[in-house]
Amino acid sequence: MSPQIMESSEVLPSSNNGIVMLDLRGCKMLNSLPNSTWELKRLEILNLHGRSYLEKLPPLYEKLPSSIGCLSSLVSLNLQRCKKLKSLPNSICELKCFKTLHLRGCSNLEKLPPLYGLCSLRDLYLDGTALVKIPLDIFSLSSLRVLFLNDTPIEELSSSIGYELNFCNGVNLDQNARGTIMADAMQRIKELAIARSYGAFYPRFLIGLPGSKIPEWLSCEGPGHLIETSFPPGCFNNMFLGFVFYAILELKAPVFHEDGPLRCQSSFKNNNGYREANFTSEYFFLENTIESDHVIFWYDGHDISSLDWLKQNCDMENKAVFHL
C-alpha cells in the first residue's frame, strides 16, 4: 500500500490479508483502522509513529488491544511518540518473531507487561517513557542487544545490563575528560564481566570517542586489521573474564551509521582443536556520522561458549588470530 494512497485516506480498507508492512507515518487524514488489522498473519512491520490523532484506534487511547498477539509474523512495532499510550497488553509476549519495539517518546507509558516470551527481541527503545523501573524478566531475554533508557525516571540500573556510551564527534573533550571516561569505562567493564561470570544476563559495553591514542593496558596490539598472537598455558584460568577489543579508526572520509557494525572475528587453535568466535560492536547503530579519527572499544560477554572453551583448555598454549 503506497504512502500516497494512505495520505489521502480516512479509513484503511479491510481487505489487507497480503500486507507485510504497514507504515502510517504522514497519514494525517486517517482516523480509524479496521478490526481486521489485528488478523494480518503476514504482517511483519507495523509503524504507528506519532499517530496521536487517530480517533478510533485503541492503542493511542491509553492501551494497545490484546489482539496484537495474533500478529504471529510481526517483527517490528513502532509506537514512537504515541503520547497517550499508558500500557501494553500481556499478549505481546506471544510474538515469537518480534525483534524490534520502538516506544521512544511514549511519555505516559508507566509500565511494561511480562516480556519473558519475547525470545527474539533484539532492540528495545524505552527512552522518553515514564518507566521508573525495569521488569526483572528483561534479563531472561537472551537475544536482547540494544536497550535505550535515556530520558526516563529510572534512577538505578542493574549491573547485568550492558552500556553504550556515545561520545562520537565530541571534539570538545580534553585529555583529562577522556582519561576519566576511559577509567570509568574499564571499571564498568570489570563489573559487567564479573556479573556475567555469575550467570547474569549477557552483558556488553560499547564506547566511542574521538582520538587515536593506544592505552597502556592493552596486552596485544598491532597495525592494520589483523593481529596474530599466542597465549601461554594458564592464561585462561578461572580469573579470565573475557576480551576487551580496542580499535582506532583512521578515517579518510566520513563513516555513516549504515556502514556498521564493526565486527571482530576471533579464532583460537590449540592441540585440542580449533574455535571461532565473532565479537561484534554495533556502535554505528547509534546513528552517528563519524567525521574524524575515533577510538571504539567494547566488551561482549555474549559468546559464552567460546570463552568457556578457552577455560577448558587453560593448560595449553592457545594461538589466536583477531581480524577486524
Compute mean pLDDT per 10 residues along the chain, 324 residues long, and list them: 42 64 73 74 87 50 79 93 86 92 92 87 90 76 76 67 70 80 82 67 72 82 87 87 83 61 80 75 53 80 72 86 84
Instruction: Specify the pLDDT at position 284.
Output: 46
170 within some domain: no
Which residue, 157, 191, 217, sits at the end of a domain?
Answer: 157
What distance in Å separates the CA atoms of residue 119 and residue 131, rounded to the nearest whole number?
A: 22
What distance in Å separates the CA atoms of residue 208 and residue 192, rounded to the nearest whole number?
A: 18
Alpha-carbon torsion, ordered 220, 292, 281, 256, to 10 deg? -150
62 within some domain: yes
pTM for this predicted structure: 0.52
Residues 122 and 4 in one domain: yes
End-to-end CA distance of the chain: 41
Q: Residue 3: which H helix or E strand, with range?
A: helix 3-7
Instruction: Specify the pLDDT at position 60.
Output: 46
Domain extent for 114: 1-157
Place of cell 524505552: 126
Domain count, the chain: 2
**Average of per-residue pLDDT values in the chain:** 76
Give how far Cα 151 sits from Cα of 84, 128, 249, Å.
17, 5, 30
Q: What is the CA radius of gyration of the chain?
A: 23
Alpha-carbon torsion, ordered 55, 100, 166, 217, to 10 deg? 160
Q: Residue 179: which H helix or E strand, with range?
A: helix 175-197
Instruction: Specify the pLDDT at position 292.
Output: 77
What distance in Å separates the CA atoms of residue 284 and residue 297, rounded to the nearest whole number?
A: 12
Residues 102 and 199 in one domain: no
Which residue, 101, 123, 157, sits at the end of a domain?
Answer: 157
Q: Give the cell for residue 204.
A: 556488553
